[in-house]
Amino acid sequence: MTETHNKQAFELNKLRKRLRRQVGQAIADYNMIEDGDKVMVCLSGGKDSYTMLDILLNLRDHAPISFELIAVNLDQKQPGFPEHVLPEYLTSIGVPFHIIEKDTYSIVKEVVPEGKTTCGICSRLRRGSLYGFARESGITKIALGHHRDDIIETLFLNMFFGSKIKAMPPKLLSDDKTNIVIRPLAYARESDIQRYADARQFPIIPCNLCGSQENLQRQVIKDMLQGWEKQHPGRLENIFRSLQNISPSQLADGELFDFKGLELQRQPATGDEEFILDDHLQPALAR
């Protein structure tokens, strides 16, 4: 029993170190958190946000800079939501928190016709509530729990169903320029997060999917990507890295690269230059 426990502790510690390294690297690469920041950690009760909070707390205690963390949950008054779980957990670990109570669920049900997708309006209402609280509370960074796999799935969702190359950036300035959103788990794999959450035994709040078209589409994309990764290990990491290595001149977006303005920038070749070029190529052409 002791040997099994020691092995589990060893594996958990190794996993925690990997997640800490990945989160720390993402924070450094995108300057996500700075000295004196007040970071709002958006906590939904799922594995991703619990893991994000846990790793950020660990990093905060060892970071060379000083920053504050506050956990925030938006209670949208969905039927059956266990309101006691998050307050009890956050109190037990000594993390300051705030529960925003806003009945966006009823608004969505009232506005959206039966059978139509609710994702768009639900997302806007949720974002508006969180952004508003952040402004009122002096929050300097809003941390969301999206991980590497979420970012890749969003890329393919937008390609397949929106005809655009667009994903989730690790760091984002809101449209009104009043909030900065960060995604500290941007380098973390979902499988690692799941294993970590299981090992830490977080009080997970079940996700009651609304059955919307977007969620169904995302699951199709997820299944496709998991199939690729199983058949070709490392493919997802290569896809993610490609998002960090963009060549606008090798795509087809005239807004990103001036294709119309391309002009030759060479001097006309003289007869001697043409002869030298031909002489140089002759051996290869004779093969």
Q: Which two tokens stand for residue 202?
A: 């977080």
CA distance 30 to 16: 21
Q: Which two tokens stand for residue 188?
A: 């973390």
Which are the contacts of 220, defined by CB distance < 8 A and separation ≥ 6?
none
Which residue, 189, 155, 151, 152, is CA-closest to 171?
Answer: 151
Tell me whether residue 119 is annotated as binding: yes
The one-character DSSP state at 260 is T
CA distance 287 to 285: 6
Q: Which two tokens stand for residue 33?
A: 């958190």
Q: Which two tokens stand for residue 173?
A: 């300035």
Radius of gyration of the chain (CA): 25
Q: How many CB atoms lie within 10 A of CB 236?
A: 19
Contact criterion met (CB below 8 Å) for 60 and 92:
no
Tell me whether residue 122 is annotated as binding: yes
Element housing 42 (H / E):
strand 38-42
Tell me whether residue 42 is annotated as binding: no
Cα-Cα-Cα-Cα torsion 94, 142, 46, 51, nearest 10 degrees, comes to -60
Residue numbers belonging to the annotated binding site: 119, 122, 210
State the binding site for [4Fe-4S] cluster: 119, 122, 210
